[in-house]
Every structure is written in structure tokens, then in C-alpha cells.
A and B are shown apart, each in its own frame.
Chain A
Amino acid sequence: MKRSSLFSSSIVPLRIVFLMWLLFSLEAYYGWPLSAFGIVPRTWPGLIGIVMSPLLHGNVFHLISNTIPLLFLGSVLYFFYPRLAPTVFFRAYFWTNLLVWLFARPQSIHIGASGIVYALAFFLIFFGVFYRDFRSLIITVVVFLLYGGVFYGILPGDPHVSWESHLAGALVGIGSALTLSRKS
């Protein structure tokens, strides 16, 4: 099995985080209204959000609250599951956002990387449950202890929070854990 170093495992998450901070800085410095490129469900212009929305954030707290888990969970994914990681990350990014575009409440703009964070957290929690080897179960327990709160985030609550992104991420994470654990 190919072994990953801690640094090489964090390259993909670091690139995404770099782009998130770059776009946020450009938006803040030049005043460009980039948030308009978020996902607007079931509209043609809103399709661009499938690519752009995880890179856009409403404020610095929103950005930080996604940066830390994205770096941690992304690195854990690439470190412990290097063979599966590109597939999981691709699904977490694009499938999650596609589900938001298809099913989220209309006339709304969804931004932020929390859908990816939820997909990664749910994948890491459920992969161990489905795969049932010692190492995966340890990862399940550790991620659950650190990010067990994600189970609350998939429920509707604050009207300004895109719980649909969280739910879509959770479904993609669980779905990926199930399908990929069978193939492994």
C-alpha cells in the first residue's frame, strides 16, 4: 500500500483552503460581490455555484470555521485512505453541490465549504462502520468524538444556514463510505 506523508496528505486540502482565502481576500479588498456566484438551486446561472460555492464565504468567521475542519479532515482522509481519497474528495465537492442545486430551497444562494466538510466527516465516521477493520474503526471513533456535532447540523434550524448543504454532504459521505467500503 502506498504510504502518504503528513505533508503530501494535506496538499489537496491546502490548495482548496488557499483558493478560499484568496477569493475572500479579493472580495474584501476590491469589494467584488463574488457571493453572487453561489449555488442558486434549479437556475442555469446558479450552476456555476457547483464549482464556485465552496470557495466563497460570507465572513471571516465562516471562513475560519470551514478552514480548520477542511484541513484536518482532508488530511486525515488523504493520510489514511490515499487510494480512495481523490474519489471521496471529488464526490464531496461536486456531488454535494449538485444535490444542493437540485433539491435546496428555491430563491436562495448557498455558499461555503461546509458541504465538503460534512461529506468528509460523514465518510470518515461511516467508513469504519461499514469496513470494520481496527484502524478504520479508530478513525471513526476519533472523528466522531471531534465532529459528532455534525449530526445536528443536518437538521433545519437557523434560516441563514444552508442545512441543505450539510444534509447533501452527509448523504454523499455516507453513500461513498458504503459503496467504497464494499469495493475495498
Chain B
Amino acid sequence: MLREFEALEASEVELMLKAPILVCMLVAGADGKIDSKEVNKAIQVARRKAKSSDILWQYFSVASEDFEDKLRILLRNYPNTAEARNEILVEELAALNAVLPRVESSFRRQFYSLLKELAREVAASSGGLLGYNAIDKEEAKYIGLDMIRPPELI
């Protein structure tokens, strides 16, 4: 068990660990299809963040393990249509609002930044013309992750 999650229930730890996958599914799947470019980008961001952050390193060594497989397996449990799927994903991500305040503040802030960065980079990773206008209207609706309350500013 990660030290940061000691105060959390098992179901809350599970939510924290699958949050990057949920964000990836939400943003990448907003336009109806999740392509491998988007999944690869999510893995790339996760690895980069893990390397650059002392605080998130341990978290990511667990969360990014078999990322694509976990995503594909998890995806099977959700409705096929983007609209119905996203409704559930938004609800699940909003549940982080009850969990995050009980996680140590530096971790909480970095975790939140990571999810935002993940959403932005996944959305920009495919579509558009030569990379321009890559974020479509549906993806733009979700990249702000408005369902998750931002951590406090000090």
C-alpha cells in the first residue's frame, strides 16, 4: 500500500489508481472512439510525470503498470455509446472530491495537475490537421475536468 493512501478505504485506493485511466477514457472517448495514439500518449505522460516527480513516482509505478490492458478491460464494463459512458465516468471522477481532501496536500496538488495534463495531452494527441485543431468540441467539454474540485492554493 502506498504511504499516501494509508487513510483511505480499499475502494478509494482503487479509484485513485484508476483515475488516470478514467480520464483517458473520458477525453479520448469523447469523440466516440479511443485510438491507440491517445492511449500511447496517456502512457507517455504518465511515465514522464513519474520520472519528474518524487511524490508521484511511487504512485505511477503502480498506476501505470499495464495501463493499456487495464484500460481495454475496464472499457468493456462501460456502455458503448460515448454519451452514456461519459455520464458514468464523470460521476466516478466526481467521487474523487470526497477522497482527495484526505490525501496529503503536496500529493493532492501534483495528482490534480497530472490529471489535468493527462486530459489536455490526450485530447491534443490525435485528430486535427497536422496537429492543428486537434481538440474537438466533445473533447474540449471534458479537458478542464470540471467535475473534480481543484486543490487549495497556498
Question: Cα distance A176–B151 when bound, in Å?
Answer: 32
Question: Cα distance A36–B113 when bound, in Å?
Answer: 18
Interface size class of B (residues with CB under 8 A): 10 to 19
Which residues of chain B come closer than 8 Å to A36, judged between CB atoms?
101
Question: Cα distance A111–B153 when bound, in Å?
Answer: 6
Q: Which secondary structure characterizes the binding site on chain A? A: loop
B106 sits at the interface (CB 8 A): yes
A2-10, A12-20, A56-64, A75-83 - interface stretch? A56-64
Which residues of chain A come closer than 8 Å to B109, judged between CB atoms?
58, 160
Which residues of chain B come closer than 8 Å to A184, judged between CB atoms?
none
Which residues of chain A come closer than 8 Å to B151, judged between CB atoms?
109, 160
Question: Is the pair B154, A112 in contact by a Cβ cutoff of 8 Å?
Answer: yes
Question: Is the pair B150, A161 in contact by a Cβ cutoff of 8 Å?
Answer: no
Chain A residues bordering chain B, tally (CB within 8 A): 23
B102 sits at the interface (CB 8 A): yes
Question: Cα distance A171–B37 when bound, in Å?
Answer: 49
Question: Is the pair A109, B104 in contact by a Cβ cutoff of 8 Å?
Answer: no
Interface residues of A (CB under 8 A from B): 31, 33, 35-36, 38, 56-59, 62, 107-112, 114, 159-162, 164-165
Interface residues of B (CB under 8 A from A): 7, 101-102, 104-106, 109, 113, 146, 149-154
